[in-house]
Amino acid sequence: MSFDRKIKIAPSILSADFANFGQEIQAIEAQGADWVHVDVMDGHFVPNLTFGPQAVKAFRPHVKTVMDVHLMISPVDAYIDAYADAGADVLTAHIEAGPHIHRTLQAIRAAGMKAGVALNPGTPAEAVAHLLDLTDLICVMTVNPGFGGQKFIDMTGKVRRLRQMIGDRPIHIEIDGGVDPKTAPLVVEAGADVLVAGSAVFKGGSVSNPEVYGENIRGIRAAAEGRWV
């Protein structure tokens, strides 16, 4: 995964048909998804339980773009190698998930993946100030993590501050939560370039009617690019 600061749409398969993940992944990629976002939740760090390493490994053969794995789990370090083996291209850990995020990011890179760090809504931008040279992606949560379909929380001030702090470093700013054609332009104008969207991509479509996914992806992209600077 080379650094390319164009707007990327990363559909979250948490909103896909759980009985049909392989075809769902193929459908969203065929319809214009740039990355595939996989939300891993442990029922401990967040109040929901989703995919483990074996599920992520099963998704991998279907993903031809970038598999963006977002760990909403605690602890993280014990599972880094398992997600590397599962084929994650980007592995993101929450700064709030443990006491040694610097070590966690080092370990993610050492395992051959791009390292992401996620910030919950209540965590300030300054929390990553000493992590920037170990980080390939900063995920700004615009909902409290744990469930899809939540209402967007405005974090544009945080995004602007992060973009300022990043300077010319090759670091993506990803937005996760409540992204749709209305909210996408706000965060892109502030400096974000990767947009995770779940229900806004999958609503109304299916593997038998994938064109709707394409319409939804194009709608988010067009709205975002209208404010791209």
* Structural contact between residues 224 and 184, judged by C-beta atoms closer than 8 angstroms: yes
Q: Map tokens 């065929």 to a residue.
A: 30
Neighbours of 65 (CB within 10 A): 16
Query: What percent helix, strand, coil does the chain show, rounded to 5?
Result: 40, 20, 40
Quote the tokens at residue 58. Answer: 């099963």
Q: Which of 42, 136, 176, 193 is catalytic?
A: 176
Has 39 been annotated as catalytic?
A: yes
* Structural contact between residues 47 and 116, judged by C-beta atoms closer than 8 angstroms: no
Has 176 been annotated as catalytic?
A: yes
Q: Which of 34, 39, 68, 180 is catalytic?
A: 39
Backbone angles phi and psi of 35, in degrees to 5: -130, 165
Indicate the residue type of 224.
Answer: A
Q: Which distant-in-sequence residues (6+ apart) come within 8 Å of 55 by Cβ? A: none
| C-alpha span between 131 and 171 (Å, rounded) | 11
Residues annotated as catalytic (active site), given as ranges: 39, 176
